[in-house]
Amino acid sequence: MQKLIPGFPFDWLRTKRVGGLVVLAVLFFCRTGHAIAADEIVAEGLILPSRSVSLSLPVEAILREVKVKEGALVLKGDILAILYSPVESLEKERAAKQLDLAEFMLGNSEKLRSNAIISEEAARQKKLDCDIARIEARRAEAVLHEKTLYAPFDGFILRILKEPGETVGRVDKVIDIVDIKTLHVDAYLEGEWKGRLNESTKVSIEVPSLGEKKLPASIGMVDPVVDPSSGLFRVRLLLPNSDMSIPSGIPAKVTFAF
């Protein structure tokens, strides 16, 4: 026997703006039922990205270049934007050359010391000079790294919030990125079903806009709290989407089989 739970019929919708993003606020309504002998229950859910992050940097600088466009697919570690100046880039090159010279001088001093041509103190000074040059090279590299925005994971660029030439303050949001390789599907069920859900519960998802194919999913989280005003609790499902063919932000039908 199948029981239908219209947990996401869009009875009430509204949008609000939070941090520059339009967020869809959905109030879920569900007609109550008392039979709990169903072999499966069907609810409606909403497909969401598994991660949605607003990227920022811990420095204040002018945004020099944005290397991506909205909607672009990026891979973890890709450079998304740079804020360092040409002078800072040249400083990195200068420090690298200084390190090359210091390492060369250190190699020569070791040979001279082994032949007792220079004192031990002079050889130690060359080693100290090389260590300092190495630190300066690492510092110049760290300055550029701190002013470079990298993709923290594979995903899509959702929004670009700053343009080249703008001053970016500390922790100002620069780019929004979403991860849809794994999707979250949030469904809301009546409280009476809470005790019957566990990791072994079979779950399938149908996306009406993509056809009638049932996609396997797993339970990622069962909300420990039942909302007292609606009598509903949230179930978060994990839906694999390795080819990223399933978009987020669309409704889906969720079937729980017992």
pLDDT of 210 reads: 82
> Average pLDDT of the chain?
82
The tokens describing 11, both together, are: 């009875």
- End-to-end alpha carbon distance in the chain: 11
Q: How confident is the model at residue 127 (pLDDT cuts 50, 70, 90)?
A: confident
Q: Which residue has the higher pLDDT, 175 or 31?
A: 175
Is residue 19 over pLDDT 80?
no
Mean pLDDT within 219-244: 91
Mean pLDDT within 124-133: 89
Separation in Å, CA 184 to CA 15, 78, 97, 202: 20, 24, 50, 16
Q: How confident is the model at residue 11 (pLDDT cuts 50, 70, 90)?
A: very low
Mean pLDDT within 56-81: 94
Q: Is residue 8 within 8 Å of residue 44, measured between CB atoms?
A: yes
Mean pLDDT within 165-175: 92
pLDDT of 36 reads: 42
Is residue 4 over pLDDT 80?
no
pLDDT of 212 reads: 73
pLDDT digits (tens, 9 = 90+) for 142-156: 999 999 999 999 999
The tokens describing 76, both together, are: 């973890």
pLDDT digits (tens, 9 = 90+) for 205-231: 999 888 878 899 999 999 999 999 999
Is residue 2 over pLDDT 60?
no
Is residue 74 over pLDDT 80?
yes
Nearest to 48 by CA among 81, 8, 77: 8
pLDDT of 197 reads: 86
* C-alpha 84: how far from chain center: 23
Q: Which residue has the higher pLDDT, 212 or 175?
A: 175
pLDDT of 97 reads: 92
pTM over 0.75: no
pLDDT of 8 reads: 40
Is residue 22 over pLDDT 70?
no
pLDDT digits (tens, 9 = 90+) for 23-52: 322 333 333 333 344 588 899 999 999 999
Nearest to 134 by CA among 85, 101, 107, 110: 101
